[in-house]
């Protein structure tokens, strides 16, 4: 029995009909639509779908399986532990972008996975295995996080040439300021990147993939050398550009992929003057009907939304009342006709809803990326 079959069999055993109180719905058509948005934007480029950090909270395996329907070149992850989870789930090649300890090189898959290699120590470790490894070299074009500067190239490339089993498959960098309406720093990075790519190709290297831009940078990268884009937040339907940016409308057709729903588990009828949750930061001013939901800041609800956040039930807005707890949140049910067991929308996939990721980030000055990645991995994801 091969590994793929074993993995499939275990999945079937683990799946059951137990109804969870909280559920994340992943809209496959929205995810595939977002791939098409970027394909139409850059029809001559390879696409790399970024699934690091549990696919930005959407569920690593779930998203990888949906993307088997898409024409993309790579799935990118941060660590090898992520690659290992989907290696038999995806039909696509995998790029591991995060650092790997040289002592772990012997344990790595060298057939389906390629690796961003930052240092000579890892090149040597991979070279000594005598197994073929596909390498992506990262350039530090101005992010000043990872990657090589020009003074480090000579030793790196010399080492690379000394191991015939190492193939320079790609060159990459990362734009640090692409979501800024002012493109000056982005243009500076592009110029730096092109100079360093030329230094590398002059040494006889012919990488197949050259990638610099992420979702925001995809509409701003004018490099004549790049042929691949990495789509991260845009893949999940979030426009990383502000409405002040001239390029904002280029990504206007992105569709949010995720919806988080919870179940009403208790209804309280409180009198005027009663306090709700920790520290009593909310006090009723009249007889009030309060609903209790079985999720809090562990599952997703930011504690910053205490007393000010909103959920929805059909067309009704349900304000959060009191402090958000670790596993519970209370909402005002006002005069709603609603019963225990009804489903409440915590995160809406309607961009214009008050509880969409875009709306929450804007209204409460929160970061859309971290709003998504904070979703607890323990919440069941289902494809709809």
Per-residue pLDDT tens for 229-259? 999 999 999 999 999 999 999 999 999 999 9
Give the mean model confidence (pLDDT) for residues 192-201.
96
Q: How far is it, in rounded angstroms, from Cα 216 to Cα 33? A: 17
The answer to the question of residue 319 being in a domain is: yes
Q: What is the pLDDT of residues 98-126, one digit of tens each?
A: 999 999 999 999 999 999 999 999 999 99
The answer to the question of residue 155 being in a domain is: yes
| Minimum mean pLDDT range among 6-10, 70-74, 90-94, 315-319 | 6-10
Residues 87, 119, single domain; the answer is yes
The answer to the question of residue 5 being in a domain is: no
Given a cut of 80, whether residue 317 has pLDDT beyond it is yes
Q: Nearest Cα to 41, choosing from 181, 190, 182, 231? A: 231
Give the mean model confidence (pLDDT) for residues 328-348.
96
Residue 12 pLDDT class (50, 70, 90 cuts)? low
Q: What is the pLDDT of residues 133-147, one digit of tens each?
A: 999 999 999 999 999
Residues 263, 234, single domain; the answer is no
For the chain, give the mean pLDDT.
Answer: 95
| Minimum mean pLDDT range among 12-26, 77-91, 146-160 | 12-26
What string of H, E and C letters represents the secondary structure of the chain? CCHHHHHHHHHHHHCCCCCCCCEEEECHHHHHHHHHHHHHHCCCCEEEEECHHHHHCCCHHHHHHHHHHCCCCEEEECCHHHHHHHCCCCCCEEEECCCCCHHHHHHCCCCCEEEEECCHHHHHHHHCCCCCEEEEEEECCCCCCCCECHHHHHHHHHHHHCCCCEEEEEEECCCCCCCCCCCHHHHHHHHHHHHHHHHHHCCCCCCCEEECCCCCHHHCCCCCCCCEEEECHHHHCCCCCCCCCCCHHHHCCCCCCEEEEEECCEEEEECCCCEECHHHCEECCCCEEEEEECCCCCCCCCHHHCCCCEEEECCEEEEECCCCCCCCEEEECCCCCCCCCCEEEEEECCCCCCCEHHHHHHHCCCCHHHHHHCCCCCCEEEEC
Q: What is the pLDDT of residues 344-360, one digit of tens each?
A: 999 999 999 999 999 99
Given a cut of 60, whether residue 13 has pLDDT beyond it is no
Q: What is the pLDDT of residues 251-298, one digit of tens each?
A: 999 999 999 999 999 999 999 999 999 999 999 999 999 999 999 999
Residues 213, 305, single domain; the answer is no
206 contacts: CB under 8 Å, gap ≥ 6: none
Residue 216 pLDDT class (50, 70, 90 cuts)? very high
Q: How far is it, in rounded angstroms, from Cα 228 to Cα 191? A: 17
Last residue of a domain, one of 235, 251, 267: 251
Residue 382: CB atoms within 10 A of its CB come to 11
Residue 362 phi/psi, 5-degree rounding, is -70, -50
Residues 298, 314, single domain; the answer is yes
Count of domains forming the chain: 2
- Per-residue pLDDT at 6: 61
148 close to 140: Cβ distance less than 8 angstroms: yes
Range of the domain at 240: 28-251
Residues 247, 263, single domain; the answer is no
Given a cut of 60, whether residue 14 has pLDDT beyond it is no
Residue 11 pLDDT class (50, 70, 90 cuts)? low
Residues 122, 264, single domain; the answer is no
What percentage of the chain exceeds 90 in pLDDT?
94
Q: How far is it, in rounded angstroms, from Cα 69 to Cα 383? A: 13
Residues 128, 214, single domain; the answer is yes
Residues 207, 295, single domain; the answer is no
Residues 174, 286, single domain; the answer is no
Given a cut of 60, whether residue 227 has pLDDT beyond it is yes
């Amino acid at each position: 029995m091969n590994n793929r079959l074993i993995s499939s069999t275990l999945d079937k055993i683990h799946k059951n009909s137990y109804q969870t109180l909280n559920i994340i719905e992943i809209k496959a058509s929205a995810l595939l639509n977002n791939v098409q948005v970027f394909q139409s934007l850059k029809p001559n480029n390879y696409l790399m779908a970024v699934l690091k950090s549990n696919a930005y909270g959407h569920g690593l395996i779930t998203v990888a399986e949906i993307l088997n329907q898409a024409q993309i070149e790579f799935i990118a992850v941060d660590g090898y532990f992520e690659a290992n989870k989907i290696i038999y789930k995806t039909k696509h090649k995998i790029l591991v972008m995060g650092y790997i300890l040289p002592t772990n090189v012997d344990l790595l898959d060298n057939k389906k996975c390629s690796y961003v290699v930052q240092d000579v120590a890892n090149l040597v470790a991979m070279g000594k295995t005598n197994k073929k490894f596909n390498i992506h070299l990262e350039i530090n074009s101005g992010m000043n996080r990872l990657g090589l500067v020009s003074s480090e190239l000579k030793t790196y490339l010399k080492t690379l040439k000394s191991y015939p089993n190492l193939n320079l498959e790609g060159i990459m960098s990362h734009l640090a300021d692409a979501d800024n309406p002012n493109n000056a720093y982005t243009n500076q990075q592009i110029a730096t990147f092109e100079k360093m790519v030329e230094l590398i190709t002059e040494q006889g290297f012919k990488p197949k993939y050259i990638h610099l831009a992420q979702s925001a940078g995809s509409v701003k990268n004018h490099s004549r050398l790049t042929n691949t884009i990495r789509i991260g937040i845009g893949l999940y339907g979030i426009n990383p550009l502000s409405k002040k940016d001239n390029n904002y409308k280029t990504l206007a057709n992105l569709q949010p992929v995720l919806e988080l729903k919870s179940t009403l588990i208790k209804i309280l009828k409180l009198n005027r003057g009663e306090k709700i949750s920790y520290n009593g930061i909310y006090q009723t001013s009249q007889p009030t009907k309060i609903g209790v939901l079985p999720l809090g800041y562990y599952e997703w609800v930011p504690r910053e939304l205490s007393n000010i956040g909103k959920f929805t039930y059909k067309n009704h807005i349900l304000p959060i009342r009191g402090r958000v707890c670790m596993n519970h949140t209370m909402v005002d049910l006002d005069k709603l006709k609603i019963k225990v067991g009804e489903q409440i929308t915590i995160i809406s996939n309607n961009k214009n809803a008050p509880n969409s990721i875009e709306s929450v980030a804007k209204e409460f000055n929160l970061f859309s990326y971290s709003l998504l990645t904070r979703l607890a991995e323990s919440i069941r994801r289902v494809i709809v």
